[in-house]
Amino acid sequence: MPEAGKPVYKRILLKLSGEALMGDDAYGINGAMLAGIVAEIRSVAELGVEIGVVIGGGNIFRGMAGASTGMDRATADYMGMLATVMNGMALSDALRQAGINSRVQSALSIEQVVEPYIRGKAIRYLEEGRIVVFAGGTGNPFFTTDTAAALRGSEIGAEIVLKATKVDGIYTADPKLDPQATRYTRISFDEAISRNLRIMDATAFALCRDQRLPINVFSIFKPGALKRVVAGEDEGTFVHV
């Protein structure tokens, strides 16, 4: 058993949805939510854990939903990638203000604003103790930021992908609709597939399974949850091979 409070992972990939930054707002970035996420990341970084973050863009792109009606899918996806760059910049700036070194790397080339994604450089930053925020998704339309998380996690040698959601794990049914629903503590990839549990999109899920890269689904809204996951405590749901 690991010592209480001590990390069981040296390098992690945190997947943050854009919606995690919204709070109760309809769209955009809620300052209190951003500060809370930075505090969670800081608590883990102080343990010496190397942290990569893949961030979504739904909170910003949601504000453009009306304009995107009938839009070509590839065009809409590229707009979503730009939204992730905005979120990445906001997160990096908030980390900087909290005294935490970070770098944003984008799969899209916007060198006046953020660095291009270079695997070797990202790994060096992690080894130096910097948070690396991966924006721009995979750089390709038709792929989600879940897939980007699985891809970047595999590339940088992360030991686990931590998917931060609004729910504190994976349940047998929707806990909002079924009070009898129970949380899975652990579940295998194969069992999750057989039970049709939609943990990530199919491409991301298959990549994690094939790379033997475990996933932990937890709530980013529970104070201290990220630190407990990294310490190997019973927090969220652990998905394994």
Bind-site residues for ATP: 15-18, 58, 62, 165, 171, 174
Residue ranges of the binding site: 15-18, 57-58, 62, 77, 138-145, 165, 171, 174
240 bridge partner residues: 188
Q: Are 12 and 158 in contact (CB under 8 A)?
A: yes
Spatial separation of the C-alpha atoms in residues 66 and 56, rounded to whole Å: 19
**Which of 166, 169, 154 has its CA nearest to residue 33?**
166
Kindly compute the dihedral angle of the four CA atoms of residues 156, 160, 161, 163, in this order, to the nearest 10 degrees.
-150
Residue ranges of the binding site for UMP: 57, 77, 138-145
The contacts of residue 110 (CB under 8 Å, 6+ apart) are: 85, 136
Spatial separation of the C-alpha atoms in residues 221 and 91, rounded to whole Å: 16
